[in-house]
Amino acid sequence: MRRQQALVVDVEHRQGDFELACEFASDARVTGLFGPSGAGKSTLLRIMAGLIRPERGRVELAGRCVFDSARRIHVPTHRRRIGYVFQQARLFAHLNVRHNLAYGAWFARPRGHTARFAQVVDMLDIGELLDRRIAGLSGGEQQRVAIGRALLSDPAVLLLDEPLASLDAARRQEVLPYLERLSAESELPIVFVSHQLDDLLRLANRQVVAIRGGRVVFSGATADFMAAPELLGADQARDAGALFRVRLEDHVEAHGLSSLTCAGQTLWVPRVNQAPGTGLTLHVRARDVMLARERPDGISALNLLAGTIDSLQADGDYAVSVVVAVGDQRLEARITRRSAEHLALAPGQPIHAVIKSLALAEQAWQRLGGL
């Protein structure tokens, strides 16, 4: 297995009226690059890949310096061992799936470390597509083939430039589990670019780099990023919720559920494909949390977490954001102002958070890895 090493970027570059000046470092397996359209995310990724040569700075990928203006180092793209997946799959339409994958494997041959074809095909579940033409594939299938082609080039780093942006919601849900499996099973460092918070949190659960106007406005732990609504934008901040550290305890096969523990309390979720004892992260969205002054009885929701109200803050004309402390962790609920007044909510008050198990059906089940 390839040992993950540091990603270091410190560059300045002007492109027309747009000026990019970014500096950050990451040791996370998946580094999330987040920001609105036009922030400079794709430009920064192209600099990492060697497709753009910056005016000044240094780029280190997987422990290897690929650009240093002071030392006049500029490793060309084809020697950087970069796997690059774009918004559009960019496959060869005149070749079938098998031959598109073989094209990626061709680049690995000189190094003698060709990724095993069968392993990649199995990971992405594209065995039945091998003899099909590209034109006959759905958008999600094309992106899975594009990811496979990038992996078979035996890259040192995988750059994913909004690979889900061109897909509708159904196709995104088709591709995301394969990206999660890749991040969980591979030691390959991944940079995942997205302007969609939900997609970002399913993959980059350790470190996020937020960019705005060509500048890094945040670089650090994903949990800290989630706690800074000014970084998310108004629309996404309203329902950001929080990341929870949990431990997988057991599987109840008869009901298709898994039990998790958090602050000594139990959560029930649709079955998680991990081994008991594994530490995981769980994204709980603010809209999926209800609050009760007394522990409710006779309801269908399985998850009732006892906590204490940490803070309340008005959110627009009709909503209130309530932060609940559960042990040493935080949970966020977004409720109406009328509900908050009816319950007479106040900081320091005991409260019960109610979460439907099915609301947690499409979360990122990843090993903590130092979160």
Give the CATH number of domain 7-237: 3.40.50.300
Give dist(CA 328, CA 35) in Å, integer.
29
The letter for the amino acid at 319 is: A
pLDDT tens for residues 122-137? 888 899 999 999 988 9
Give dist(CA 136, CA 293) in Å, integer.
55
Grouping H, G, I as helix, E, B as strand and the rest as coil, residue 362 is coil
Query: Which CATH architecture is the domain 243-360 placed in?
Result: Beta Barrel (2.40)
Give alpha helix (H) positions in the chain: 41-49, 97-106, 117-124, 139-152, 169-185, 197-203, 222-226, 234-237, 337-342
Mean pLDDT, rounded, of the chain: 85
pLDDT tens for residues 326-351? 999 889 899 999 999 999 999 999 99
Q: Name the pLDDT band for 364 (thresholds 50, 70, 90).
A: very low
Residue 344 φ then ψ, to 5°: 55, 50
Counting beta carbons within 10 angstroms of the beta carbon of residue 17, is it exposed (0 to 12), middle (13 to 18) or buried (19 or more)?
Answer: exposed
Strand partners, 30: 190
Provide the pLDDT for residue 363.
Answer: 54
Provide the pLDDT for residue 107.
Answer: 63
Question: How many Cα atoms sit within 13 Å of 343 on the Cβ side?
Answer: 21
Give dist(CA 186, CA 124) in Å, integer.
13
Q: What residue ranges do the domains of the chain occupy?
A: 7-237, 243-360
pLDDT tens for residues 283-341? 888 888 999 999 998 888 889 999 999 999 887 778 898 999 999 988 989 999 999 99
Residue 31 structure tokens = 């580094």
pLDDT tens for residues 244-277? 888 889 998 888 899 999 888 999 988 887 788 8
Residue 367 has pLDDT above 50, yes or no: no
Q: Name the pLDDT band for 86 (thresholds 50, 70, 90).
A: confident
Residue 1 has pLDDT above 60, yes or no: no
Q: Please report which helix (H) or strand (E) contains residue 279, including its range.
A: strand 279-284
Are 123 and 46 contacting, i.e. CB atoms less than 8 angstroms apart?
Answer: no
From first CA to last CA, the distance across the chain in angstroms is 21
Give dist(CA 204, CA 197) in Å, integer.
10
Provide the pLDDT for residue 361.
Answer: 61
Helix axes 97-106, 139-152, angle to 10 degrees: 30
Give dist(CA 307, CA 362) in Å, integer.
24
